[in-house]
A and B are shown apart, each in its own frame.
Chain A
Amino acid sequence: MRLAFTNAIPLRLGRANRVEIPWARLVRTTALSMLGIVAFLFLWAAAARNIDTSLGQFPGPAEVSAQAANLFQEHVAERERERAFYQRVEEFNARRLAEDPNYQPKPRQYTGKPTFLDQIGTSLVTVAAGFVLATLLAVPIGIVIGLSQTLYAAINPLIQIFKPVSPLAWLPLVTMVVSAVYVSDNPAFSKSFINSMLTVMLCCLWPTVINTAVGVANVSKDLVNVSRVLRLPWLTHVRRVVLPGAIPMIFTGLRLSLGIAWMVLIAAEMLAQNPGLGKFVWDEFQNGSSSSLGRIMVAVLAIGLIGFLLDRGMLLLQRALSWDKSAILR
């Protein structure tokens, strides 16, 4: 309660200052980051010229941007082929119906190759699914062990042991278990999706669990005491006192988890041949054509950029949900 007041006051007082945008600082940081990027491009171009691989010269910025354009064009062309495919499917269905009135046409997926943009979409969906699943597990676990010293002592060793396990170690186990357990004639999700999702989940669970537990354990004693005086029921206590107090730490955990999830996903896709950006990289590596390295570089940059955007998204969410608006979040 006290905390909320002290925070509300500076915000209200600060209204007069808020319209002033720190132009000078903004220009300076923008200029500096541009400078950094330009310097990197030059260094990259210079280094690329001096690296000869058996697939030809290492791709520089020009080659990579050309490949990026190529990948986009391939995407457009593939969509065109997709339209033609659906046309043929319609014709086929009509023909089959004419032969056999009982024939029931099935909705049909396009059979052509997934393009680079499709692979990005697949990766984003998979990482989101794994991350949401991990969050749904990790936050409750974190709250429960954060509230109880006894449980924390019991579960902590397990967390410490499982936390450093690499996705590469989980993957074979996950694959075998999924193919044994997930048996269905008409599965809603493909096995490869489930494999990637579970691997991502297992790897990105831990930072959220730990940070939630720490956040919960460190909720101000005053607030806990207030809750105790008011004799709040357990659930209300968690909802009204613990959760709001632990939100900043929970989000610190979630951001770490999402970062790990994204990294793990690429590795899992590469290793298990699950559709997505990781598979794109692996396939191009296997192709070993003269444009392969350039295309892989496009994927590397895309992976970095998406990882960055995911992190910024979490940061915005954290700012929106956090009560402590004065805390510096970066």
Chain B
Amino acid sequence: MVVRKSRFARLASVLALAGTLTTAAAAEVGPAEKEDLKFGFIKLTDMAPLAVAYEKQFFEDEGLFVTLEAQANWKVLLDRVIDGQLDGAHMLAGQPLAATIGFGTQAHVITAFSMDLNGNGVTVSNAVWEAMKPHVPMADGKPAHPIKADALKPVVQKFKADGKPFSMGMVFPVSTHNYELRYWLAAGGLHPGYYAPHKGDSSGQIQADVLLSVTPPPQMPATLEAGTINGYCVGEPWNQAAVFKGIGVPVITDYEIWKNNPEKVFGVTQAWADKYPNTHIRVVKALIRAAHWLDANDNGNRAEAVKILARPNYVGADPQVIAASMTGTFEYEKGDKRAVPDFNVFFRHHATYPYYSDAIWYLTQMRRWGQIPEHKPDSWYMETAKKVYRPDIYAKAAQALIAEGKLKASDFPDFASETGFKPPQSEFIDGVVYDGRKPNEYLGKFKIGLKGQDKI
């Protein structure tokens, strides 16, 4: 009954639109098929677009009544999206890709909205920092940034010589943090270990110098304090929390590992998107407005965003901890505060656009560390990216916003000519150039990591 009615309603609105053939009408999105939605998130500052879209009533402007719910960890979050308890969620960029290719849980998950750029850091315990410090180049009496993993190498070798394992935490096997931490370690000559899913080994510690293991983000500081891990890579506010609590020192941000790297996405299942196409577009519209609000007036709204995020039902950490990174500074060693204006980017640099080249970068890293156990042709990378990343849905949402006058065309990439590939990027910590169109050639450039026909 209900279905038939909404279909009828859509037909009616299409007919009405046909009468007034203007560009504005063409961009109009029909009413949401599902008005009551539940989205999941993990307590991290980069869930901000969801909180802002709720608090600023951008969701309600789209006729959506959204409940936001914090989830225990990334696995629970993904499972709940797949089995339908959640309509969608704040996800790691690697999650929809890994789910779709069947590494871990298998399910076709897609994304039409990239939530932010950057926002992560690598923190080591105080003891490790003391041991690292003599190997860190200094400038003006302060450590010269970016700090490379070369400075960590002697510390890890010392651990090895003493017969102790050197362990670090990351948040999930397919998380950006895992790949960034691996990238940083490998660039400094430390092997982060291979996965071998075809042999049933999902520990990711084969041949490893540094043993990486999963810890949920909010528990990172406690786990570091307990001595279970010697360092970790995580999103904010959990690096700054280590500084505030005096239990660790952030050594590098992911902005320095790969400038303006894509971080979280908003993921839904393909089945959900097929069933509720207008709802999906409307969700993306609300999120685009939220992201725009977060970056508007040169981060002018960030102080208000911090207040929202500090509420116990969102991130819930102390406001000064959240503010540290959200307002464009980052504190490394206690007292060593530096300006990192692009530490959290929500909208600038077309941050919300789901680029195919971003998807392919994550796929290359999955191949590099054995999560994709065998060689795949370049065309496979392309097809997979297209299956998961959906700029077409994003474009519909953006055009609707432009038509409504809420945002300007200049806020977005030129949809007519955009290919979904960023030009080759060189701003990585090791200077290796990445061209999304040639994933296998890219893999060949790394000293550490699987390439070509390599197999564990």
| A interface with B by C-beta (< 8 Å) | 54-55, 88-89, 92, 96, 99-100, 102-104, 106, 108-109, 111, 113, 179, 190-192, 271, 273, 282-290, 292, 295
Contacts and interface: CB of A to CB of B under 8 A. Distances in A.
Given A100-B12, A102-B5, A191-B85, A287 B67 contact: no
Contact of A287 (B225, B245, B317): B317
Interface of B: 2, 5, 8-9, 12-13, 31, 35-36, 43, 54, 57, 60, 63, 65-67, 70-72, 76, 83, 85, 216, 218-219, 221-222, 225, 241, 245-247, 310-313, 315-318, 321
A228 to B, nearest CB: 55
Given A273-B76, A284-B312, A54 B221 contact: yes
A54 B35 contact: no
Contacts of B221: 54, 288
A287 B60 contact: no
Contact of B43 (A106, A111, A179, A287): A287
Contacts of A106: 35-36
Given A271-B72, A286-B218, A287-B317, 6 more contacts: A54-B245, A96-B63, A99-B31, A100-B13, A286-B43, A288-B222
A108 B59 CA distance: 15
20 contacts: A54-B247, A88-B57, A89-B65, A100-B31, A102-B5, A104-B5, A108-B35, A111-B66, A113-B313, A179-B83, A271-B72, A273-B71, A282-B72, A283-B70, A286-B316, A287-B317, A288-B221, A289-B317, A290-B318, A292-B316
A321 B76 CA distance: 45
Contacts of B85: 179, 190-192
A100 B7 CA distance: 12
Given A96-B31, A108-B65, A191-B85, A287 B9 contact: no
A289 B9 CA distance: 48
Top 9 A-B residue pairs of the complex, sorted by shortest distance between their CB atoms: A287-B316, A113-B313, A286-B218, A54-B245, A111-B67, A289-B318, A273-B72, A179-B83, A111-B65
B316 A289 contact: yes
B294 to A, nearest CB: 21
A92 B72 CA distance: 33
Nearest to A70: B312
B316 A92 contact: no
Contacts, number: 86
Nearest to B65: A111
A190 B12 CA distance: 34
A104 B9 CA distance: 11
B218 A288 contact: yes
Contacts of A96: 31, 63
Contacts of B5: 102, 104
A92 B60 contact: yes
Contacts of A103: 9, 31
B66 A287 contact: no
B10 to A, nearest CB: 10
Contacts of A104: 2, 5
Given A54-B221, A96-B63, A288-B221, A108 B36 contact: yes
A99 B10 CA distance: 12
A100 B10 CA distance: 10
A283 B36 contact: no
A114 B60 CA distance: 19
A215 to B, nearest CB: 41
Contacts of B225: 54
A54 B247 CA distance: 8
A271 B66 CA distance: 24
Contacts of B36: 106, 108-109, 111
Contacts of A292: 316
Contacts of B67: 109, 111
Contacts of A109: 36, 67
A68 to B, nearest CB: 14
Given A100-B9, A191-B85, A286 B31 contact: no
Nearest to A282: B72
A287 B218 contact: yes
Contacts of A191: 85
A294 to B, nearest CB: 12
A61 B218 CA distance: 27
A122 B31 CA distance: 33
A188 to B, nearest CB: 15
Contacts of B35: 106, 108
Given A54-B247, A108-B36, A192-B85, A287 B63 contact: no
B2 to A, nearest CB: 8
B316 A284 contact: yes
A203 B71 CA distance: 25
Contacts of B317: 287-289
A61 B321 CA distance: 26
Contacts of A282: 72
A290 B72 CA distance: 20
Contacts of A285: 218
Given A111-B66, A191-B85, A287 B8 contact: no
A194 to B, nearest CB: 11
A105 to B, nearest CB: 9
Contact of B8 (A102, A190, A290, A295): A102
Contacts of B31: 96, 99-100, 103
Contacts of A88: 57, 60
